[in-house]
Amino acid sequence: MKIVILTGSPHKKGTSNTLVNEFIEGAESNGYIITRFDMPFLNIHPCIGCDHCGMSGPCVFNDDMPKILDTIMDSDMIVFATPIYYFGFSAQIKSAIDRFYSRNGQIQRKHLKSVFIATAWNNDNQVMQAIEKHIEILIDYLNLDNQGTILAKGYGYTGASSEKHYKEEAYNLGKRI
């Protein structure tokens, strides 16, 4: 299985990337082929809604996104990993998701398997509510076959007390998919 991973944190050794690394270790033990794109370190222009692509065609921006979209179209599974920023995806990864617009139908028809990983500082009932709903609707809209979601609350920095539990969860998810 080919897996493409999109990450959204500028902290290379932060919490969401820690869970991604665990997930990769688990997935690689199954022999899966993984391609990872770290959005904060790539050139991804936000969608400007010009509709040049007509939701199915070339984008006016020839940045890193066409390559990412080609890789998505050549993959069996897509993984989204983000820190929670104001109850949602970070802008870096959301910009990439918005750029799906130019291949919207192709992505929907591909029926990709998916995994979502999010990490947040807070540990209350509210912190993951919005992203949980957003993920649920994205799965439905993009016709994803979701294989697992890790919503890591109370995990605001590496070394937090919740880290061990979430690392195990991420490794096990990578191993069982």
Ligand X SMILES: Cc1cc2nc3c(=O)[nH]c(=O)nc-3n(C[C@H](O)[C@H](O)[C@H](O)COP(=O)(O)O)c2cc1C
**Nearer to ligand X by C-beta: 14 or 174?**
14
Question: Taking the complex as a whole, how short is the minimal distance between the CB of residue 25 and ligand X, in angstroms?
Answer: 17
Asked if 26 and 18 count as a contact pair (C-beta separation under 8 A), the reply is no
Which residue's CB is nearer to ligand X, number 9 or number 102?
Answer: 9
Nearer to ligand X, 78 or 84 (CB): 84
Helices (H), 11-122: 15-28, 65-73, 91-98, 104-110
CB of 41 to ligand X, least distance (A): 13
Cβ nearer to ligand X, comparing 29 with 129: 129
Interacting residues with ligand X (CB under 6 A): 9, 11, 14-17, 83-87, 119-122, 127, 155-156
Look at phi and psi of residue 46 and say left if phi exceeds 0, alpha if psi is from -120 to 50, else beta.
Answer: beta
| CB nearer ligand X, residue 83 or residue 148 | 83
CB of 6 to ligand X, least distance (A): 13
Q: What is the H or E stretch that residue 134 is in?
A: helix 129-141
Distances (CA, A) of 164 to 80, 155, 158, 168, 177: 21, 10, 10, 6, 20
3 state SS of 118 = strand
Shortest distance, position 46 Cβ to ligand X, whole Å: 17
Is residue 85 classed as helix, strand or coil in its secondary structure? strand
Query: Shortest gap between Cβ of 73 and ligand X (angstroms)?
Result: 27
Q: Which residue is nearest to ligand X (CB)?
A: 14
